Amino acid sequence: MNVLMLNYEFPPIGGGAANAHLRIVKEYAEVPDLKIDILTSAAKPGFFTEQLADNVTVYKVGLHKKILHFWRKIEVIEWLLKSKKHYRKLLREKSYDLVHAFFGFPSGYLCYKTTDKVPYIISLRGSDVPGENVRLQREYKLLAPLFKSIWKNAAALAACSEGLRKRALNFLPSADISVICNGVDAEKFKPNQAKSKDDTFRLITVGRLSPTKRVDMLIDTVGILKAGGINVKLKVIGGGALKNQLKQTVLDKCLGDCVEIIGRVETQQMPQLYRQADIYVSATMQEGMSNAMLEAMACGLPIVTTKCEGLAELVADNGTIVNMASAEAIAEAVKKLLDDKSMYISMSQSARHRAEQFTWKKVADSYLRLYEKVLGRKI
């Protein structure tokens, strides 16, 4: 089977969806009867080809990329315009059975225009599904008819969580959408067996620094805990447009000794950063499915998060979902966990056990079954 994958972001560019795509194709490198080509982006102008494995080739369309993990709207348009000719060229020169697009837009737009030539499936990842993303409200309204046409013409749609599936169905109730969750490398991300025994409680949050993540609420949470006499520190991992603004907020609130805005770090550093922490906290207003939360769980961290989609598969007896999105409510949930050592240990163990159920092999196998269903044949 020959599959062309489209994704406007792919490591080192992008975030959770880019990482998920990479992990899936690494699994496919072990499937000799499957040939994968990937059309994605590069951070500098040009056109580049990389051989990821004997059966996996990556074609990168170069852009004038300013920040690796943040997409300006002009960059999305640039990728779409430049990728079109390369996509058409690949279709002419190679015989693909299927196109697999990560994100309904912009990636899905390319294969939507060639529906008559090759069937396509779409992985809905989060920002491509209309919702509460503050930065994209105008685009959601303007592009809604196009989004619906892209979805309706797809041979299959798959969301990365049940919560995202529900959001997608609110947008297009007639859609037939399956759920294929993200995975985690439980060997790479594992608990720290020798944590520091001082009296500092270490919190961590990971993600793009955007209004949707409400990191300012987590900063206020630390202020409340500190005022209550708790020795707490928060590390904020991730880059984005709000980085400098959040740093200033920390200074304005005199929390520089207990809140550290670290910025984006390399993937290989993340396991150690999780293992140094005690609790993973989140105030996000929406998620597809959080890779960072899964990684934290695999490292044995209980979760304290505000209520949003994408949590049904992740948080049960391993954390607390705060129904009221406020710094006071998050602080109360954190304090309760810190005050009850037996609850903390139980949640930590449950977090690890739950994370072990999410493997990238399961994710890759689920997509293979979807390919087979669409094409009506086995690999």
Write the pLDDT tens digit of every residue in 280-320.
999 998 887 889 999 999 999 999 999 988 888 899 999 99
The answer to the question of residue 15 being in a domain is yes
HSE on the CB side for 65, CA within 13 Å? 24
Q: What is the pLDDT of residue 4?
A: 98
CA distances from 125 to 17, 89, 102, 312 (A): 7, 27, 7, 16
* DSSP letter (8 states) at residue 242: T
Q: Distance between CA atoms of 338 and 344, rounded to whole angstroms?
A: 7
Between strands 98-102 and 56-62, the pairing is: unpaired
pLDDT the model gives residue 311: 86
How far is it, in rounded angstroms, from Cα 301 to Cα 291? 14
Same domain, 262 and 113: no
pTM of the complete model: 0.88
Domain harbouring 50, CATH code? 3.40.50.2000
Please check whether residue 146 is in contact with residue 153, taking contact to mean a CB–CB distance below 8 angstroms.
Answer: no
Tell whether 215 and 348 lie within a shared domain. Answer: yes
Residue 177: burial class (beta carbons within 10 Å; 0-12, 13-18, 19+): buried
Same domain membership, residue 214 and residue 160:
no
Q: Which of 91, 175, 195, 197 is nearest to 130 (CA)?
A: 175
pLDDT digits (tens, 9 = 90+) for 128-158: 999 877 788 889 999 999 999 999 999 999 9
Residue 82 CB-density burial (10 A; 0-12 exposed, 13-18 middle, 19+ buried): middle
Is 187 within 8 Å of 361 (Cβ atoms)? no
pLDDT of residue 269: 93
Same domain, 63 and 83: yes
Residues 241 and 139 in one domain: no
Q: Which pLDDT belongs to residue 308?
A: 87
Q: Are residues 347 and 371 in the same domain?
A: no
The pLDDT of residue 32 = 87
Range of the domain at 85: 2-183+359-375
Phi, psi of 289, deg, nearest 5:
-150, 130
Residue 343's closest CA among 286, 304, 311?
304
In a domain, 159, yes or no: yes
Q: What local confidence, expressed as pLDDT, does residue 197 receive?
A: 66
- Who's near 251: CB < 8 A, 6+ residues apart? none
Tell me what pLDDT residue 196 has: 62
CA distances from 348 to 38, 97, 193, 240 (A): 38, 44, 12, 30
Residues 120 and 214 grouped into a single domain:
no
Query: What percent of the chain shows pLDDT beyond 70?
Result: 99
Report the alpha-carbon distance of residue 374 to residue 17 in Å, rounded.
Answer: 22
Which residues in the chain show pLDDT less than 50? none
- The whole-angstrom separation of Cα 71 and Cα 50 is 23
Residue linked to tokens 């009506």? 376
The pLDDT, as a whole number, for residue 208 is 84
Question: Is the residue at 194 inside a domain?
Answer: no
- Does residue 192 lie within any of the structural domains? no
Amino acid at 174: S
